[in-house]
Structure 1
Amino acid sequence: MTESASALDARAYDLDRAHVFHSWSAQAALKPLVIAGGKGSRVWDHSGRTYLDFSSQMVNTNIGHQHPKVVEAIKRQADTLTTIAPATANLARGEAAERITDVAPVGFNKVFFTNAGADAVENAIRMARLHTGRDKVLSTYRSYHGNTGAAIVATGDPRRFSNEYARGHVHFFGPYLYRTEFWATTPEQEAERALHHLRRVIEAEGPDSIAAILVETVPGTVGVLMPPPGYLPGVRALADEFGIVLILDEVMAGFGRTGEWLALDAYDVVPDLITFAKGSNSGYVPAGGVIISDPVAATFDDRVFPGGLTYSGHPLAMASIVATIEAMNEEGIVDNAATIGSDHIAPGLAALAEKHSVVGEVRGTGVFWALELVADRETREPLPAETMAKVKSELVARNLIPFTAGNRIHVVPPCIITPDEVAEAMSIYDDVLGSL
């Protein structure tokens, strides 16, 4: 006898609570949503309750849910070859690498494939240390780079506190004008003073001991912190001055999220290594990697690179990357993200900020935005955690899946989002903010 829709929802929930151990959570109080399917910018449970996905799950379904061209490519590859060792040459892997280097800056011709963003960061750090012969890695306090050994210690946010087992990591403050560490009053002043601070950290740590500066091009999980004019080129200049490798983490910001193929395209900066994952195939099959500049790649022409993964360049993941990039090109999806951001999300969020005093600041670009919520606009006191929990539950109650972090709502829909769907979300945000 076929189970009813409600029975399937109940069974999925009960199995989850009985056997699934969730990340970043105390397990006892969890009440996860049951999701059975999805298409485009919406997902639903077995009973048919539909949610507008303004989280892109983990800010990764850039091409939306169940894009038919990507799904078909995975099926086609599965019929041909489901898996093969990374030491072999495989057409899907080669084509994926070619597509990725095509969207990278000139002078990036090699890709090392990983399973996700965290191990991309791990291997970028390894490459930088071996390339320079140095050990230390500098990264910002307001950052998230993944939950593996070096990546979580490079992360600046408090999740690193219980995980600090890797060596050689030093943190510094990056720019964040709304809560400036540098008593700045303009973006230009914030950039200048943040760069001076970074220079002093480099000098105090010993330039000859520093292998890499690792920064998210646009820090995402910590608040969509838009780099002020001149900051990233200034970091590049400091790296050049002291012979340090610059790693730009594009795991969240890359592949259309900011309305550019890579977020770095909007800034006058070319790094030495670029990490990627999420948007490269919207997570349809786990994949990530490091895009390697020619000078760093040459280090390993005659020297063994001591790193590898069983599933590096997995054929199903590679086929999904190729299909994703092709579909994004053919359908103008990156341009859509840029237009939606400038013409619909930006004015919609500005209207919310004007109407609701709980909104302290709006910032972002493309389909990568944050509403910073405050208890008091004058003091900029963050909205308390218990109020943020209410905000999240009220958004879900209105059939919108939000991405919330700290005192922020991150407005991060898929790059395929439509103007009507943005208007629908803005109405829901308006209703919930008004209820506060």
Structure 2
Amino acid sequence: MGKQADNGTNNAGEQFSRAGFILAAIGSSVGLGNMWKFPYITGKYGGAAFFMVFIICLIIIGLPIMLAEMAIGRGGRGSAAASFTRLSGNKTWGGLGFISVLASFLIFSYYAVVAGWTLHYAMLSFTGNLFTSTDFGARFDTFIGSYWPIFWQGIVLLLTVLVLTAGISAGIERFNKILIPGLVILLVALVVRSLTLEGAAEGVGFFLNPDFGKLTPEAVLAALGHAFFSLSLGMGIMITYGAYVNKRQSLSGAAMAVGIGDLLYAFLAGMIIFPTTFAFQLEPAQGPGLAFVVLPVAFSAMPLGAWFGGLFFILLAIAALTSAVSLLEVSVSFLLERVKWGRTKTVWITGIVCFIVGLPSALSVGGTVKGLSFGGRSIFDWVDFVTSNIMLPLGGLIVTIFAGYFWKNASEEAGLTAGWFKVWLFMLRYIAPILVVLVFLYSTGLIRF
């Protein structure tokens, strides 16, 4: 498995099936952000009004860049770095592409920590131990302030490695074919439970009734940023996965399917969070506070709450694991092109190194080890800030410039008709770069309204 195929791929010619590629791409975009960030910013910026702006942003920035990444991967038949080099004949572009490889590696290092939290809380909820105390904030602080997150981080690493060692079709594709349908079932079950709670209608109304008065310039920038990040753009994932797609696959159709999947997941997340929080008169929090502090209060008060809480955390764990698999595969793909190890050895070494790199994040987020915070941020927060707010927008900008200005055969690989290609090229050249720069300026705090 370690030898490169003659066609330039880095996995001995392994390829996704058509459905497998779409499910894997959806799995990479279905992460934790849509569950605990999207409801918060939607509520803050006008409910359905924000959701409509989010859809527009996803169409004008998300889908064009996603299609470009997929096309670069399939055209270059290599990792996120090698594909740029092969298509341009210039190693400088490969160096720029490496930014995405490094970003995905660093993101996985702390993402595995959070994914471990979800597994731990799923176990606590199913056993009923989560509800032995009503001070869920203190419980969460005690947990992340201990060494237990390292254990659960290791469990996530082990599961991810086992999937990736099986390869593309038998590993990544099969994993997503099992987990994505399971995720849909859990989403529907939790939506039904949320909508049947007393007082849920008020939460649904808050979510679905547009308040255009809250659509400020800041709201538009927040929608732009979420459209970019929720599709896993700038991480090299879609380039890496694109290298495993055959020429008969419709990339535009796949990009559209992933976009619809991302929207549907975000919508269903809102239909879970808002009815539940309103039914129990809770405030939707942003980030881990929603999942690990706010919602357990609701689960503790509802009939069969331990089971529904467990299902919720299993849902989060599935979303986290499907993203974790795609994140680590970017680094594995990169190394397979440069070393003569087999896939199994490469995956294990990459995973172990990533685990070690993630230890400071695991230990700093709860203050387990003093001295791992500086500048008002923990190591965890710094890695998140640098990757999400600097490296990912930069990676997205590189893709738009390369596909829009330097890659001569982009139209052939994208598979668009002449008319749609002109629209896509216009978006890549003149619209998407400006919006990506705005996302960068807003997410780094350089512009505020």
**TM-score of the pair, normalised by structure 1:** 0.31
TM-score (norm 2): 0.30
More strand by share: 1
RCO comparison, higher one (Cα < 8 Å, 6+): 2
